[in-house]
Structure 1
Amino acid sequence: MSVVIVIPARYQSSRYPGKPLVELTGASGEAKSLIRRSWEAGISVKGVDRVVVATDDARIKDHAEAFGAEVVMTSPEARNGTERCAEAVAAMGISPEIVVNLQGDAPLTPAWFIEDLVTGLRGDADADIATPVLQCSGQMRADLIADRVAGRVGGTTAVFGHDMRAMYFSKEVIPYAGGDFAPDAPTPVFHHVGVYAYRPAALADYPAWGEGRTEVLEGLEQLRFLERGRKVLCVEVEARGREFWELNNPSDVAKIEEMMRRMGAD
């Protein structure tokens, strides 16, 4: 087995309880749950052998199985999606080449983001994990800043070196870039897309390390890899005219639905 996508989903989200079952209405007027839209995004990816939902909640399990998803039950003790992915892979007893964590709150993730991510990790033998980054337009940067000004935890930004190795991830808008940018202009800020591709050995090691200091402060699971000196590859992806946003807060529902209508996404 080569590539497996795991979609971690928990009901008791601290910021948005029940989030995986929240319905989003697409351009056609059809309402589908967040977890279903994330699963449909996963099965659209080329070159993937298996797509599974990993959850600790019977409501999510029953709902996901009703629309045809394979479900793996995991414990409620998993502290984040990476730990849940590690547990799910161990429970399935499989040894894939690459494990992809497609988080269940990113239904607008285009298939080519994941395809490019897998290609990037395959091309860098020294990397333990790869994750996509998307250059922010002036409008996306302004939206991220607006979330922070309003006290909302919105998207995550990434800083990386010339070799595309991650230097840091933050829920603040970094790096600092003074002044304004035109809505369509490129900016020096890169939005971190919450998808990960792991080598199985690094994923299996992750839960035993325990939470890291900056991981706890930022609430960002990928920082545990950096704190342990593991090499995280940032793979720049292209929007190709698609809009991208993650569902972090209740206010994001209307924003994502409007994006879906503009893009004609069902």
Structure 2
Amino acid sequence: MSTLIVIPARYASTRYPAKPLVTLTGATGEKKTLIRRSWDAAMSVQGDLRVVVATDDERIRAEAESFGAEVVMTSPECRNGTERCAEAHANLGGGFEYVVNLQGDAPLTPPWFIEALIAGIKGCDLDLATPVLRCEGAMLEALKEDRRHDRVGGTTAVFGASHQALYFSKEVVPFTSQTYAPDAPTPVFHHVGAYAYRAEALARYPGWDIGPLEQLEGLEQLRFLENGHDILCVEVESRGRQFWELNNPSDVSRIEAMMAEMGLA
């Protein structure tokens, strides 16, 4: 077994405290917590994998263990999910070649996103890979609407011809003033909240300084770029699935509506 999937989850989020324990109602009316739905997403990924929840909070631990998840306790001093993944891997004794960070606020992540991500990191010589999804017009408008209302919404990614990342931002980049039909492809890529690291690079990450870009954007992956490490952007296909992350309380109803439309229980 060469790959570990870690779902980092903390209770004391500045923007949305107790977010992992928020309930989401599926298409059949069944209510599950966000951490449960994130676990279900991870468990649907095909391959020889081990999946764990990494948290510093006993309430999240109790909820995760109630549905059979393996939990690794980590320090409350972890500054982001990548640092929590690094500590979780170390606390398990290491031994994995690759570590996947499936962030606990992306319950709509389909398994083929993570399968493509794992294939991407295994097929390149970079230390980090992350999925990106081309926005259609409706998604691009939703991202712009969040910014117009000063909500912290999804992250966008810009990359070059070799798919090596140039930048990530909570602003909508690149700028486009064009109007697109709801189902039309756009030049903007939504960054999917997942990462695959080579374990040795992940172990070094907590010791790197936080740079000004990471500080300003609040995006953990920028620490790799600011410390001279390239990131592979793996383009994934929606295959008719809608994708959104739970960043704000207002996203609960948005995600529930998407689940209802897609028939996800």
Q: Deviations over 1:122-158 (max 9, x none)?
A: 1112x11000000000010000000000000000000
TM-score by length of 2: 0.99
**Residue 170 (structure 2) pairs with residue 189 (structure 1):** no
Residues 100-139 of structure 1: matches in 2 within 5 Å?
100-125=100-125, 127-139=126-138
**Residue 228 (structure 2) pairs with residue 235 (structure 1):** no
**Residue 78 (structure 2) pairs with residue 81 (structure 1):** no
TM-score by length of 1: 0.99
Q: Deviations over 1:45-68 (max 9, x none)?
A: 011421000000000001100110
Contact 1:24 1:32 in 2 (8 A): yes
Query: What one-letter code is carried by the residue in structure 2 that aligns with 1:260?
Result: M
How far apart in 2 are the matches of 1:179 and 1:41? Answer: 34
How far apart in 1 are the matches of 2:39 and 2:70? Answer: 10
How big is the alpha-carbon RMSD for the aligned residues of Structure 1 and Structure 2?
Answer: 0.6
Unaligned runs of 5+ in 2: none
How far apart in 2 are the matches of 1:35 and 1:233? Answer: 27
Query: What one-letter code is carried by the residue in structure 2 that aligns with 1:168?
Result: Y
**Cα shift at 1:212:** 1.5
Consecutive aligned runs of 4 or more in structure 1 exceeding 6 Å deviation: none
More moved, 234-243 vs 40-49: 40-49
Q: Give percent identity, aligned residues only.
A: 68
**Residue 9 (structure 2) pairs with residue 9 (structure 1):** yes
Structure 2 counterpart of 1:216: 215
How far apart in 1 are the matches of 2:79 and 2:209? Answer: 10
SS, match of residue 130 in structure 2: strand
Contact 1:5 1:48 in 2 (8 A): no
Structure 2 counterpart of 1:244: 243
**Cα shift at 1:97:** 1.8
**Cα shift at 1:187:** 0.2
Query: What one-letter code is carried by the residue in structure 2 that aligns with 1:167?
Result: L
Structure 2 counterpart of 1:262: 261
Contact 1:133 1:192 in 2 (8 A): yes
SS, match of residue 72 in structure 2: strand
Query: What one-letter code is carried by the residue in structure 1 that aligns with 2:185?
Result: P
